Structure 1
Amino acid sequence: MGKALAKELVSRGFDVLIHGRNMTKLAAVRDELRLAVSESNRDVDVKVWCADASAGRWYPAELLALTEGPDIAVVVLVNGGTDIKSYAIDGQTDDEIHSVMSLNFFFSVFVTRTLLPALRSTAARGPVSVLAVGSHVALIPPPYLSVYSASKNALQSVMHGIAADERFAGRNVDGNLDSKYLQVGSVHTASNKGKPTLARPTSEAFVKDVLRRMTAPGRIVAPNLVHGISVWVIMLLPERLAERLAGRQMVEAWGETVTGGKSRAACASTSS
C-alpha cells in the first residue's frame, strides 16, 4: 500500500520520503520511482528513511534532517500489521506485544510528534493532511488479536487528540492542519493475496480513494465505499454475533494458523 501511495504521489508531482526497515527493498522502490519520474520528465525528489518501526525507540535527528526545507503537505502513516496468532494474550511474549504496539501505534506517534512543528508551519500557508491507516479490527477484535485491535484504537484516539490540542491552544483556527483516522478493511497487498473485489480493492485503487477522500469532513473517514458500509453494519450488530463473524472470517482466511491445528469445523463450533 505504501509503494502504491508513493507512486501515486510522485505521479502528481509530489516530492516523497518513503520509509521501510529493509534498505535493499527501499533502494529498489526509490529507483523504480525515480525511473518513473525521469520518464515523465517531472522534477520530483525521492528520499528514503530506513528504520525499524517495531524497535520501540527511535531518535528524531535523521527524520528531521530528511524533511528539512520543503513544506510537508501530506503524512500517511501506513506502517502496521501483525502476525496471525493461535493463542490468547497470556501466551504472547513481552517482545510480541511490544512489537505490535510499536509497529502499529508508538512509531506513528513518534513520526507525528517529530514532524508536528513543521506541519504547523506549513499549515500557516496552506492545507496539511496527516492520515493514519486504521483497521476494522479496532471495531471488533478478531481471535487472539486484542493487542493489535488496541493499537488501532489508540491510533484513532491520538489523531483525535492532535486536532483537539491544536484547537485548545488556539492554533489551526482555519482548519488547515487536518488529522484523520482512516477506517480500512481488506486491501489486496503483498501480504493479503486474496482475489481483488469491491470489498478488497487493489492497493492502487485504494490509494486513489484515500487521496480523493483526504479532505472529506470528519476525523474518521472510510476511503472505500464498501469498507464504510461494513463499518456501519458492524456497529449495528450485537457484540457476540460480530465476534462470531470475525472468528469465522479469520478461520476461513487463515485456517490452522488461527486454530493451532484444530479442524476448521471445530474452530467454527468453538467460536459460535
Structure 2
Amino acid sequence: MNNETPLDGRVVLVTGTTQGMGRALALDLAARGATVLLHGRDPRRLAAVLAEVRATGAEARGYRADLGDLAQVRALAEELLGAEPRLDALVHNAVAGGGSDPTRRELSAQGVELRLAVNHLAPHLLTRRLLPLLRRGGGGARVVNVASIGQSPVDLADPMLERGYEGLEAYCRSKLALIMDTFALAAELPAGEVTVNALHPAHLMDTPGVRAYGLVPEVGVEEGVRPTVRLLTDPALAGVTGRYFDRFTETRAHDWAYDPAARAGLAALTERLVAPFAN
C-alpha cells in the first residue's frame, strides 16, 4: 500500500509470534525496518522465529510468557519496562481459540475461563502496565487489538461459562470483551499520545487455531497481516482511536459494546480479576 509510514527505527511488540498470523506479521514488520519484539510461550518455537526474523537483517528481541497466567503477564511487562528504552506500537495478536475439543472447559493459572483470560485480561493488563513505555516516545504510539467478527456478549451472571460451555462461544465472548476494552482505554488516553483500535483481520485464516477447531481455512495469514499493518502505518489513522475495523473498513461492533450498563459491568469484572496484578 502506498499510504504507509516507514517503520525504520520504530519498536513494535507483537504477542503470539511463534505461529500463524503472528509469525507472518513479525516478518512483515521486520521487512519494513521495524525493531520487532517477539513474544511467545514456547521457548523453542520462540527461538526459532527469532532466528528467522534476525536472518532478514532486522533487529529483534524475544520475550517469553504464558498469557494464561497473569503473574507471567505482569512479569513480562516488568521485563520490557526494564529492558526496552521505547515502544512505539503494541499488537495483541496472541489468542486462545475455540479449542480442539470445544466441550472441554479450560482454566487459566488463576482459575479464570481460559479464553477470557488470554484474549481479554492479558491484553488489558499488559497494555496498561506498558503505558509508561508507550508514552516515552513523545506521542503517536499505537495499540492494535486483534479481535474478531465473531462477537458475543459476556454473561455477567456466569462470566466463566460454568453452564453450557462451548469453546467457540467462549472465544466470541472474549473477543467482544477485548473490543469493549479497546473503547474504554481509548477514552482514557489522549489520542495524541497513544491510540487504541481493534480489528477483525480476515475471515477463517489458515492458522493452527482454525484448523484445531475443525474449521476449513478460506484465506492465508497474509490476508490478515495487511489490515493489521495498516493500523500501524497509515498516516491517515494518526490520532484515530477507539474504533473497530472489519479488515480495512471502520464498522460497528456488536450492539452490546455500546450499552452503558454492559460496559460498566464488564469493566467491574475485569478490574476485579486483574486487581491482584495491577500494582
Q: Which category of TM-score, normalised to the shorter sequence, fits these structures?
A: 0.5 to 0.7
Structure with the greater relative contact order (CA < 8 A, sep ≥ 6): 1 or 2? 2
1:117 equivalent in structure 2? 132
* Residue identity matched to 1:177: V
Partner Cα distance (1:53, 1:61) in 2:
11
Query: After TM superposition, where is structure 1 displaced by more than 3 Å over at least 4 residues in a row?
Result: 59-70, 84-87, 91-97, 190-196, 213-218
Residue identity over aligned pairs, in percent, reads: 25
TM-score by length of 1: 0.66
Structure 2 contact 143–196 (Cα < 8 Å) conserved:
yes
1:204 equivalent in structure 2? 222
1:30 aligns with 2:50: yes
1:134 aligns with 2:147: yes
* Residue identity matched to 2:198: Y
1:258 equivalent in structure 2? none
Unaligned runs of 5+ in 1: 38-43, 167-171, 236-272
* Residue identity matched to 1:137: G
**Secondary structure at 1:209 match in 2:** helix
Structure with the higher helix share, 1 or 2: 1
What's the RMSD between the two structures over aligned residues? Answer: 3.1
* Matching residue within 78, 94, 98 for 2:93: 78
Partner Cα distance (1:29, 1:9) in 2:
13
Sort the Cα spacing of 1:157 and 1:191 in 2 relative to 1 into closer, same or farther, 3 A. closer
Partner Cα distance (1:211, 1:64) in 2:
26
Q: Deviations over 1:62-120 (max 9, x none)?
A: 43333544331110000113215454xxx746568522221111111121011111112
Partner Cα distance (2:142, 2:117) in 1:
22
1:188 aligns with 2:182: no
2:63 equivalent in structure 1? 49
TM-score by length of 2: 0.65
Sort the Cα spacing of 1:94 and 1:176 in 2 relative to 1 into closer, same or farther, 3 A. closer
What number of residue pairs does the alignment pair up?
Answer: 210
1:211 deviates by 1.3
Sort the Cα spacing of 1:92 and 1:205 in 2 relative to 1 into closer, same or farther, 3 A. closer
Structure 1 contact 71–118 (Cα < 8 Å) conserved:
yes
Unaligned runs of 5+ in 2: 1-20, 155-164, 256-279
Q: Deviations over 1:95-153 (max 9, x none)?
A: 6852222111111112101111111222x2x4211001101221589x92332222111
2:192 equivalent in structure 1? 175
**Secondary structure at 1:28 match in 2:** helix
